[in-house]
Amino acid sequence: MRDKVFELNLENYEVGQVTQEFIDFPSFYGLQKVKAPLYVYRASEKTSPCVVVTACIHGDEINGLRIAQSLMKSKLKLLKGTLIILPVVNIYGFLNKQRYLPDRKDLNRCFPGQTKGSFGSRFANFILQNITRYGDVFIDLHSGGPGRFNIPQIRCDLSNKDLKELVEKISIPLVVNSSLRDGSLREAINDLKKPCIVFEGGEGLRLDETITKYGVNLVRSTLSHLGMIKPSKKYVFDKVVIEKTRWIRAQEGGILINKAHRGKVVKKGEVVGELRQMTGELLHKIRLENDGVILGISQAALIMAGDALYNIGFLEAVNTEEDEEFFDYFDLDM
């Protein structure tokens, strides 16, 4: 039995109809069929503007799935164009509660992929060929990894003028200006000269309804900006722009006592946490070197030397010695 995978053709979708279906992805071992959910809402004969929402490119980042579910269940009244939602892109990782693909590759480092590459490369190519054909604007939903909570934020390259204009019109309080990462979906879409916004919010393998609301409003305000739905008073257009991010790591092992609040602006020298010995004695207080916003917090209490504790966003491009490789693991640089 040969793998027969899905090919998206919007001509097959009736105008004015919402379709929720399960589509064929590459099988497990040529044996077990793998199906993934897809939502298509084609509102007008003209398929453009077409917004594509993807979630769970990292299989354990399930809050994106929850955002997608809320959107799909929210009885949207599209005035024109098309909305495509692929709520579980990396279904293989998702089924195993894992970030990665079965070949241990990070799917978000495999784009644009190719038909004759590794599984990750072929799968990335399959996703890209199927969803980018019609997409004009892309929103890719992510969260921190398990044990790492990210406050709701978007990541995009604000040196791109079109993207900057779009970002001004959509609902999200925090924007992290970040360059493209090799192999990410965002980079592949950027290469097609189309805008792609990465949303980050919440923690791997957990759901958070506040995060879900931010994600839903982000997508809805994008649809509203494109004239695809009516505007809403719920949207937040004021923004804080972060120019540089940095993780504070533990100088030594111990127990972390958190003193900080997510999303709070913290002044230089302010204490955000304490590291204590197993006996409870204070090892040291963790302070900020510059004014910043707490973007992400480790949820772990038992800390090894070098563990990432706080992800701090700076409003200006301050000099930090952070190595790029580090971001890879913690999914903070899409």
What does the binding site for Zn ion look like in residue numbers (CB under 5 A)? Answer: 58, 61, 142, 331
d(CA 64, CA 41): 19
Burial class (CB in 10 A: 0-12, 13-18, 19+), 323: exposed
Q: Do 27 and 33 form a contact (C-beta atoms < 8 A)?
A: yes
- Do the beta carbons of residue 148 and residue 204 sit within 8 Å? yes
**Checking DSSP bridges between strand 32-42 and strand 82-86, what pairing results, if any?**
antiparallel
Between 142 and 186, name the residue whose CB sits nearer to Zn ion: 142
- In angstroms, give the least distance from the CB of 198 to Zn ion: 8
**CA-CA distance, 153 to 174, in Å (whole number)?**
5
Q: How far is the CB of 121 from Zn ion (least distance, A)?
A: 18
8 A C-beta contact, residue 295 and residue 311: yes
| Tally of CA atoms within 13 A in the half-sphere of 26 that contains its CB | 16
CB of 165 to Zn ion, least distance (A): 26
* Smallest separation (angstroms) from Zn ion to the CB of 24: 24
Cβ neighbours of residue 323 closer than 8 Å, sequence gap 6 or more: none
> Quick one: 42 or 206, whose CB is closer to Zn ion?
206
Q: Which is nearer to Zn ion, 58 or 246 (CB)?
A: 58
Smallest gap from residue 237 Cβ to Zn ion (A): 26
Helix axes 209-225, 63-72, angle to 10 degrees: 50
Q: How many distinct helices (H) and strands (E) make up the chain? A: 7, 17
Q: How far is the CB of 143 from Zn ion (least distance, A)?
A: 7
Say which DSSP state 108 is in.
G
Smaller CB separation from Zn ion, 93 or 292:
93
Compute the residue count for the chain.
334
Query: Closer CB to Zn ion, residue 148 or residue 220?
Result: 148
Nearer to Zn ion, 170 or 198 (CB): 198
Nearer to Zn ion, 42 or 142 (CB): 142
Look at residue 128 and give its three-state secondary structure.
Answer: helix
| Closest approach of Zn ion to the CB of residue 58, in Å | 4
The residues near 196 (Cβ < 8 Å, ≥ 6 apart) are 137, 138, 139, 140, 156, 185, 186, 189, 190
141 vs 286 by CB, closer to Zn ion: 141
Q: Write down the least CB distance from residue 334 to Zn ion, Å.
A: 6
Give strand ranges (E) for 43-168: 50-55, 82-86, 137-142, 148-156
CB closer to Zn ion, 142 vs 246:
142
